[in-house]
Amino acid sequence: MKSIYFYPRLLALVIALAACTDTGSASKAQVVKATPVTVAQSSHKQGQGKPALDISLVQPQQLIPEGQPASVDLSLRSSMPAGTVAVTLALPDTLSNSANADLQYQFTLPAGVLPLNLTLYSQVPGKHYIQLHAHHLETSEQRLFNAIVWVGEEPGSLKKSTMGVSEAPASGVQELPARESIY
């Protein structure tokens, strides 16, 4: 199972495309629609955040099946009244973009929702982050943020360790090693 992590993205893409052209396995080839994931405990939402470009994801988290192409809605919401926003996406190695787009987009404001859809494929179950870099060309304001794509498993079914979260120390103190000089 671990070796899957080392499959080249290209190989995964070939597998996906091959599946798409295999009439004998039409159900596998079908591009399904990603399922929005509702987060029980939201993060900043309408909290007092630092200044940043006013742009955010309509669907911050989505679930796609493992080993099957899925349409993922990465549409953005912005209430900026004017200008042009350039958006660049960066996928992790564990996600393949079967549309093979260059992942660069431009939107003219105002637009409300900036439509952005990708067909993604992954054989690596778990949590994956897509990085989005938005740049307002007139004001030079920028923002980097992440979309979360869950592959194969419901978020609640994953153990903490698979999400890269630390186990809490029993003492309640997270000790990090100091560089110490004793004399």
Partner 1 sequence: MMKAGQWLAAVLLAGCISACGGGSDNTSSRYSSSVSSDTSSSASSASSVSSDINSSSSVSSTSSEISSASSAVTQVSIRGAVTYDFVPLQNPGGLNYALTEARPVRHALVELLDSADKVLASGQTTEKGDYLLQAPANTQVRVRVLAQSRQSAAQRWDIRVEDNTAENALYAMSGRLHDSGNHDGTRDLHAPSGWDGNGYGESRVAAPFAILDTAYMALAQIRKVESAFVLPTSYFRWSPRNRPAEGLLGDGDIGTSFYDSGANALYILGQENVDTDEYDRHVIAHEWMHYLEDERIGRMDSIGGNHGSYDKLDLRVAWSEGLANAFSGIVLDDPLYLDSFDSGQSVVGGGNLTDTRGMPQGWYSEASVQALIYTLAQEEGFDTLYSVLTAPAFRTADSLHSIFTFIETFTDLHPVPAANFRSRLLQQGVTGSDEFATDESNDGGTAHALPVYQPLEVGASPIRICSSQQNGSYNKLGVTRLLQFEVAASGHYQVRAQKTKEQAQETDPDMHLYYQGERLKSLESSDVDREEGRLYLEQGRRYVLEVYDYYHAAGFGVPLPTSCFDLTLVSAN
Cβ nearer to partner 1, comparing 69 with 126? 126
- Can you read off the two tokens belonging to residue 106? 């431009």
Residue partners of 150: CB distance under 8 A and separation at least 6: 37, 61, 62, 63, 64, 126, 127, 128
Nearest distance from residue 11's CB to partner 1, in Å? 26
Q: Which of 13, 146, 152, 153 binds partner 1 (CB under 8 A)?
A: 146
CB of 152 to partner 1, least distance (A): 18
Pick from 19, 53, 76, 118: which binds partner 1 (CB under 8 A)?
53
Give the CA distances from residue 82 to residues 76, 115, 144, 145, in Å, rounded to whole numbers and listed in that order.
Answer: 15, 17, 20, 21
Instruction: State the nearest-atom distance from the C-beta of 74 to partner 1, in Å.
Output: 13
| Radius of gyration of the chain from its Cα atoms, rounded to whole angstroms | 20
User: Exactly one of 21, 23, 161, 181 binds partner 1 (CB under 8 A); which one?
Assistant: 181
Cis peptide before 110 (omega within 30 of 0): yes
Tokens of 141: 């304001």
Q: How many CB atoms neighbour CB 75 within 10 A?
A: 14
Single residue of 1, 10, 24, 180 touching partner 1 by CB under 8 A: 180
The site map against partner 1 for 23-52 (x = CB under 8 A) is: ----------------xxxxxxxxxxxxxx
Q: Which residues of this chain interact with partner 1, rule CB under 8 A? A: 39-57, 60-61, 77-81, 110-113, 129, 131, 133, 136, 139, 141-148, 163-169, 171-183
